[in-house]
Structure 1
């Protein structure tokens, strides 16, 4: 009897010891759903930020729309330039869904915070030793630096295998541009013009880098490399002037690039307005110096566009009598 009692006591003691050890393990390694969440956050944060941003914004075949903004583009007394840009997608024809493929590149903290607040696809572009957090007036030293930084960044996107449309944020998207763009794989670059001469293949068309579609391939990557290499040898020139010089200097031909120049009837701008509101696809506030002037005159374009959409089918097909007066006066400031 005593033997059985002692045996039972041993079993009870062993069981208590096992429970004590088990409790100790639970105490030092508590279960928490946050441990899995934390692990996922850590692994995600270690990934390349640009790669993630591009992947989230792009289509399945690695195509993306890219725009670049700073603080001056997201702030304003009434509407900001970014507000107008996004309004055009809302009021445009078949353009709302394109915002899903828009990557907004932010060159300062204020524009990045605004982008995140709007729940867009955002990427903060860091530039050592330079703050692009105010309006950079056309052709100022800081403006030129920002344009070259943009060129370097877009070359990096090409290297990652992405085809893209680059659009300035002062371009209104009134219609989906893809039906007006060619998907011929032999065309490397389709670029807007300040004034269209009637021939979509003519190199005498004055190019504008505020809107273009480009394919990622070895030739276009090399073009951007050669383009950026000329930065330090092109003092006082903006990147567009340098690219235009490369075009006329035979670089495009040497690389075997095929370029299509976009008709201002469809890809319009203040330098040369489209004459047909039924055809116009985008409107660029080019030939304009300040952001405030661009906002004033682009707002007039949006208002005219809204009136057109409300009008009867047989009414006027022209853009009213827009003279872009604010932009014309901006050159005297």
Structure 2
């Protein structure tokens, strides 16, 4: 009988323990849910913070009217070819240093990096830097013209620039293989009364700054942020899926020729090659007027570096001659600079 009472007590104790366990488990589930909810909110805050990094970078580089200068770099542009300096990035920055009224523009330049090496080089230069791509995105090396990597990089660039427009920032986009020899704003329409939505460089210019037959070049342009330009860029980007492997510049060219500018009410100005020059023309033009020189119609970074170095050398000679008041007809001789390395880059490899 004593054994039975003891056993009964044990059973009651076990039942009590089971009930307590059930109560604990039922109370634990909401706590777990709350904890997971807290982690989810934390993750959301981190993602929002990451998105805001672009806003911070843009604000830091912005002029008073919410205008920035944007350039993209990756490892291929910031490291020397065959261990020989300067790099393409070095030449690009040197142009701002020796250009006419261009040094102050560096504070408004936002360098968008596509890999860690490029980002670290940018930070070392104490520039305004923004890291766009993850390390494994495959955007680090040199992307040869019309390769799959080249096309992917161009479209990723366009996607990023849509974000900038959506944030209300106007910008000059510039390729790294461009030398800024003069402040280009002096040759761009910036007056609010004559507002242009888009001002874009050309490979050839036929004296009509509004002709849609002109061959555009998306390596340099000035675009205002508004509903019209955001719609243009979104249409441009959305067309990539049906582009059939055509580069993004040609996709935009086709849209222009098929009347998208009139559809969206966009005012455009095609920039004259007298002021915004490139290697697609035999001569660079007159150094008395040129604002930028673009290594267009050129295959590979080594060839571009060689010819852009030659442009810089001649620009420095021109500026020196100007400082000594050399007659105009003498300084005019500098317009005959050729770009042999780039011309030959299509028929042989430049090492």
Scaled by the length of structure 1, the TM-score of the pair is 0.84
**Does 1:287 find its partner at 2:297?**
yes
Q: CA deviation at 1:157?
A: 0.2
1:1-333 correspondence to structure 2 within 5 Å: 48-76=52-80, 77-126=84-133, 130-185=137-192, 186-272=195-281, 273-311=283-321, 312-314=325-327, 315-319=330-334, 321-332=336-347, 333=349
CA distance in 2, matches of 1:161, 1:318: 44
- SS at the partner of 1:165? strand
Conserved? CA contact 1:103–1:121, under 8 Å:
yes
Q: CA deviation at 1:274?
A: 3.7
Query: Could you say if the C-alpha distance between residues 129 and 50 of structure 1 is closer, same or farther in structure 2, counting changes exceeding 3 Å?
Result: same
CA distance in 1, matches of 2:288, 2:174: 21
CA distance in 1, matches of 2:203, 2:337: 17
CA distance in 1, matches of 2:191, 2:213: 22
Greater helix proportion = 2
Q: CA deviation at 1:46?
A: 6.3
CA distance in 1, matches of 2:241, 2:257: 20
- SS at the partner of 2:332? coil
Q: CA deviation at 1:305?
A: 0.2
Report the count of equivalent residues.
291
- Mind listing any 5+ residue stretches in structure 2 that lack a counterpart? 1-45
CA distance in 2, matches of 1:275, 1:124: 36
CA distance in 2, matches of 1:313, 1:195: 31
CA distance in 2, matches of 1:313, 1:212: 33
Per-residue CA distance 1:46-71 (angstroms, 9 max, x = gap) = 67110111011011221100000100
CA distance in 1, matches of 2:97, 2:49: 33
Per-residue CA distance 1:191-239 (angstroms, 9 max, x = gap) = 0000111111111110000000000000000001111101111121111
Conserved? CA contact 2:243–2:251, under 8 Å:
yes
User: Which residue does 1:5 correspond to in 2?
Assistant: none
Q: CA deviation at 1:128?
A: 8.6
CA distance in 1, matches of 2:135, 2:245: 21
Query: Could you say if the C-alpha distance between residues 46 and 163 of structure 1 is closer, same or farther in structure 2, counting changes exceeding 3 Å?
Result: closer
- Mind listing any 5+ residue stretches in structure 1 that lack a counterpart? 1-41
CA distance in 2, matches of 1:233, 1:107: 26
Conserved? CA contact 2:201–2:217, under 8 Å:
yes
Conserved? CA contact 1:266–1:274, under 8 Å:
no
Per-residue CA distance 1:7-33 (angstroms, 9 max, x = gap) = xxxxxxxxxxxxxxxxxxxxxxxxxxx
Query: Could you say if the C-alpha distance between residues 53 and 276 of structure 1 is closer, same or farther in structure 2, counting changes exceeding 3 Å?
Result: same
Scaled by the length of structure 2, the TM-score of the pair is 0.80
Conserved? CA contact 2:71–2:112, under 8 Å:
yes
Query: Could you say if the C-alpha distance between residues 94 and 109 of structure 1 is closer, same or farther in structure 2, counting changes exceeding 3 Å?
Result: same
Q: CA deviation at 1:96?
A: 0.3
CA distance in 1, matches of 2:210, 2:49: 45
Q: CA RMSD, aligned part only? A: 1.7
